[in-house]
Amino acid sequence: MKTKLATLALTATMVAAPAMADLVFPSLSYRTGPYAAGGIPYADGYADYFTLLNERDGGIGGVMAKVIECETGYNTEKGVECYEATKGEGSLVYNPLSTGITYQLIPKVTADGIPLYTPGYGRTSAANGKVFSNVFNFPANYWNAASLAINHLLEVNGGDLKGKKIALLYHNSAYGKEPIQTLEQLSAKHGFELVTIPVDHPGQEQKSQWLQIRREKPDNVLMWGWGVMNQVAIQEAANIRYPMENFIGAWWSGAEHDVAPAGANATGYKAVTFHNVGSDFPVFDDVQKYVVDAGKAAGAGDNIGKALYNRGFYAAMLMAEAARSAQEATGNADITAADMRNALESFSISEERMAELGMPNFGPAFEVNCANHGGPGTGAIQQWDAAAGKWSLISDFGPSDMDVIQPLIDADSAAYAAENNISERCN
């Protein structure tokens, strides 16, 4: 007992950290564990953008940005610990890159008045700002991704999917289950048959799933995978000689490290994305100059232009812009989490602004309002070329089927509101 108290006291002194007037952007990242391959480039991108702002522009509106990283290992218990450890440091917005941790944090951030930003992951129905006051998941969510994948298949098949068989290979968790409802609705609408095949965490063993795919012979396979599951699935698809162009991943199953292990066999593999790909943007020259060459990169500096690095970078850009608009709205350089939330709710980004930032056409131009926290829900399809070693967009950024998605969002958020006695806002 005594030793326990002593350790408690020791931790107490370690936890106490000095308060400072920086703009704090906590990054609940994971650089260890079975999902580290995806967590590292994302965390690097998120941190590097803020480092770039500090080094090049002297912060945001003259105030330095500070990224506090906390290792979650994609584990919800550690996620809680990280949240509690960082929330007292003036954190402006959380971006945990984990659907499980997002579910944990939604009620907590709402109670604490801190915004939660979950681009392309988390709870899809959080797009309904009437119910989820503190959660933002623009520019697109899982259900948009499912619809975008189906839209692409419609395009490929001349607008008709009747009688086709589409398999969904998914991570057997909250994350992987998210698109099922949407796909069921879409299958009723377009007349294709949906086969769902779960893969349990972490997904290193998928022989039986791919045996099932061989037996069922689906025309297309969609994948909702993350971490090591992606690499294994693409390798297994190559092993059974499944045509790669019929295999479409969600945007969390479309990174370089996912396709690289399968080598040349992965050529043709497709994935959905909600932002642009590649390193061909002026801003990355600045990153190279001010961040990487100055030795201030969050990682080894070799991830620039990779799919997940770009995503973290893009998320950081949107958050920095939101912080800037919060500063303008309040006339105060030192903003609070509440200011940040208000700014996110009236957030807008235009193509001109993105070009100004050196990221022309990096993502869609859109506006957020009180009722819609989900953005436009647009996306494109990217395809892998193993010989060139890069992704390229094979479609424009198109809309998703909101006629199907919006009722689902309304129903799911209404269920949440009823469960938690939340009355609708924005009326």
Partner 1 sequence: MFYREAGDFKTSYTDDSQTFPIKFDRIRYYAVLAVAFGIIPFIINDYWANAVVVPFLIYAIAAIGLNILTGYCGQVSLGTGGFMAVGAYACYKLMTSFPDVSIVFHVIGAGAITAFVGVLFGLPSLRIKGFYLAVATLAAQFFLVWLFNKVPWFYNYSASGQISAPERTVFNIAVTGPNTDAWAKYLICLVFVVAVAWIARNLTRGTVGRSWMAIRDMDIAAEIIGVNPLKAKMTAFAVSSFFIGISGALFFSVYLGAVEVGEAFGINKSFLVLFMVIIGGLGSIFGSFAGAAFLVILPVLLKNVLVGGMNWPIDIAAHLELMVVGGLIIIFLIAEPHGLAQLWRVTKEKLRLWPFPH
Give me 19's structure tokens: 């308060």
Which 53-82 positions form the footprint of partner 1 (CB under 8 A)? 69-71, 73, 75-77, 80-81
Quick check: 236 binds partner 1 (CB under 8 A)? no
Tell the smallest beta-carbon distance from residue 119 to partner 1 (Å).
17
Burial 163-186 (b: 16+ CB within 10 A, else e): ebbbbbbbbebebbbbbbbbbebb
Question: Between 371 and 422, whose beta carbon lies closer to partner 1?
Answer: 422
Quick check: 181 binds partner 1 (CB under 8 A)? yes
Quick check: 123 binds partner 1 (CB under 8 A)? yes
Quick check: 10 binds partner 1 (CB under 8 A)? yes
Question: Between 202 and 268, whose beta carbon lies closer to partner 1?
Answer: 202
Which 321-350 positions form the footprint of partner 1 (CB under 8 A)? none
Quick check: 178 binds partner 1 (CB under 8 A)? yes
Quick check: 31 binds partner 1 (CB under 8 A)? yes
Tell the smallest beta-carbon distance from residue 391 to partner 1 (Å).
26
Quick check: 296 binds partner 1 (CB under 8 A)? no
Q: How many residues bind partner 1 (CB under 8 A)?
A: 58
Tell the smallest beta-carbon distance from residue 156 to partner 1 (Å).
27
- 3 state SS for the chain: CHHHHHHHHHHHHHHCCCCCCCEEEEEEECCCCCCHHHHHHHHHHHHHHHHHHHHHHCCECCECEEEEEEECCCCHHHHHHHHHHHHCCCECCECCCCHHHHHHHHHHHHHHCCCEECCCCCCHHHHECCCCCCEECCCCCHHHHHHHHHHHHHHHCCCCCCCCEEEEEEECCHHHHHHHHHHHHHHHHHCCEEEEEEECCCCCCCHHHHHHHHHHCCCEEEEECCCHHHHHHHHHHHHCCCCHHHEEECHHHCCHHHHHHHHHHHCCCEEEECCCCCCCCHHHHHHHHHHHCCCCCCCCCCCCCCHHHHHHHHHHHHHHHHHHHHHHHHCCCCCCHHHHHHHHHCCEECHHHHHHCCCCCCCCCEECCCCECCCCCCEEEEEEECCCCEEEECCCCECCCHHHHHHHHHHHHHHHHHHHCCCCCCC
Tell the smallest beta-carbon distance from residue 322 to partner 1 (Å).
23
Q: Rounded distance, CA 250 to CA 20, Å?
A: 40
Question: Between 329 and 415, whose beta carbon lies closer to partner 1?
Answer: 415
Quick check: 423 binds partner 1 (CB under 8 A)? no
Closest listed residue to residue 179, CA positions, set 408, 397, 403? 408
Q: Rounded distance, CA 85 to CA 302, Å?
A: 30
Are 126 and 375 spatial neighbours (Cβ–Cβ below 8 Å)? no
Q: Which position among 198, 261, 268, 360 is part of the footprint of partner 1 (CB under 8 A)?
A: 198
Quick check: 410 binds partner 1 (CB under 8 A)? no
Q: Which position among 164, 177, 296, 324 is part of the footprint of partner 1 (CB under 8 A)?
A: 177
Interface pattern 82-101 for partner 1 (x via CB under 8 A): --xx-xx----------xx-
Contact stretch for partner 1 (CB under 8 A) within 188-196, 226-234, 347-355, 419-427: 419-427
Question: Between 24 and 277, whose beta carbon lies closer to partner 1?
Answer: 24
Interstrand relation of 366-367 and 348-349 (parallel, antiparallel or unpaired)? antiparallel
Quick check: 363 binds partner 1 (CB under 8 A)? no
Question: Between 154 and 402, whose beta carbon lies closer to partner 1?
Answer: 402
Question: Between 39 and 59, whose beta carbon lies closer to partner 1?
Answer: 39
Contact stretch for partner 1 (CB under 8 A) within 226-234, 263-271, 347-355, 411-419: 411-419
Tell the smallest beta-carbon distance from residue 12 to partner 1 (Å).
8
Tell the smallest beta-carbon distance from residue 379 to partner 1 (Å).
20
Quick check: 356 binds partner 1 (CB under 8 A)? no
Q: In the complex, which residues of this chain contact partner 1 (CB under 8 A)?
A: 1, 4, 7-8, 10-12, 14-15, 17, 29, 31-32, 36, 40, 69-71, 73, 75-77, 80-81, 84-85, 87-88, 99-100, 103-104, 106-108, 110-112, 123-125, 172-175, 177-178, 180-181, 198, 200-201, 408, 412, 415, 419-421
